[in-house]
Structure 1
Amino acid sequence: MAASLDFFYQETRAKHEHIAMHHHQCYELVYYDCGQGTTRIGDAEHVFKAGDYAIIAPCTPHDERHGKQSKVMFTGFTSTVYPPLKEGIYQDSPSRPILGLMQMMAKELRDKPPFYKQLLDNLISRLYLEVLRAQPSQEPDSRYDIIRFAQAFIDEYYTQKIDFQALADQSGYSYDRFRHLFKEKIKLSPSQYILQRRIEHAKTMLRHTPLQISVIAMECGFSTDAQFCSLFKRETEITPKQYRELAGD
């Protein structure tokens, strides 16, 4: 799949409820089915109302303050194929395609029919594309063609040891400049990005294979299973074993 689902929840927020600053390792989309309030995404303050949705990039701190009772749906997702999404508050179109996809995901998670996990990744891929086509187009920047090449290289070889200095040299920039441009475009440093790719691949293997954790660690590019378990827990707040058990529920 071109995108994968990390989490999905539905909640009712009380009037004057404040969700403190926090961040995720993946994109988050928050859909405001009803209600109103404000949200800070990074350094920008936004107002939201019913029918709006927020896009928050990986690792961006954000909060919510609800001016009245609100019903929200929020989902986390990852893609290394599609172009990056622009943060902010957007209004769903009159036909409500974003709401429709969110409701379909909620139903799949509630009913858990056969192959629901695979269908969820299909739905989150469609959601990503709907959000992408609704966003204002941005002029291409030749600096980022080099970064896209570096990203594609990492996507191809992330299970192997990658020499970031060699990538920087190939780009024609110093390592510090290369790292800055990469983080500006991808929202993660090169080392954070490769770790994210390895963690996401590990999640897929934990969900869909019976392989031992030590084997998965090696397959995903970690030097030892101890390193894998430590970094996986740091990034997800649960161990690989716990993730596999929860994914099987």
Structure 2
Amino acid sequence: MNPIHTLKGDYFFHHDRLVYVNRASEDFEAPVHDHDFIEFAFVAEGTGFHHVGGQVHPIRRGQLFCIPIGIPHVFRPASADVAKHPLTVYNCVFSPALLGRLASFVTDPRLARFIGEWRDGASPYFYLSDTDDTIERLMLAMHREFSMPRGASSDYLDTLLIQLFIVVQRLKHDAPSASVRKFTQFDHLLSYMEQHLAEPLSLRSLAEISRWSERHLQRLFRQHTEQSFNSYLQALRIQKSCELLRSTALKIGSIAETVGYRDTASFLSVFKRIAGMTPGEYRKASLS
């Protein structure tokens, strides 16, 4: 298992500014990491996967991921060919100490409690969808203000962060509990796939495990990953093979078998189609 890197807020926060905002193009190079600050990450472009806390979630444009302190995670694009399949994420990271300052401006009891849970490390990891582009507009405004600061920039960023907390609290409170449970069950199924890549995986076998029909499962894959089951499974297997190519000295045939390909030729064909290069070329490029 690869070590988990810990990111420190001291690297990002300077001159009493306890918030940092950037726009990042995700790739396969970033390590799995945790951090001593809070992160709200918004998917601005593309699709891919979020590996978090031992699970894998499919991600798409318009999703916001709320990540507490100490939760190991990493974003990965759907393909190693990031030129054709980019994954762009806005990251808003901030110190829990900042939330104490923001709380003094809040009068609504539910919002104050919600901010307090994040400040005290009591909020779990969760994610939600931006239903009306409000979160995207706030993220764009925060990134613009952080990148091109003007007078009273810190105060302006604080007010935008309060607005973001209000929107997130409303969406989380108003989310239908039934749909949240169904999505969680689907996430568990995706985690099962990641943990059993070496085994034969099919819609039929997953239908038996989940007790959903094959037709309904195919609809869920389209809805939550914007891919068919077969496309998602191939991307997941190639993604895992990329990690093994970077982090191990296993032969390519062994890697193909580890991620579920019994025929090395098929693996090579799918890998080149998705990654845009052969496994050998990818390993060489990742080590250079």
TM-score normalised by L of structure 1: 0.50
Q: Which has the larger radius of gyration?
A: 2
TM-score normalised by L of structure 2: 0.44
| Higher-strand-fraction structure | 1
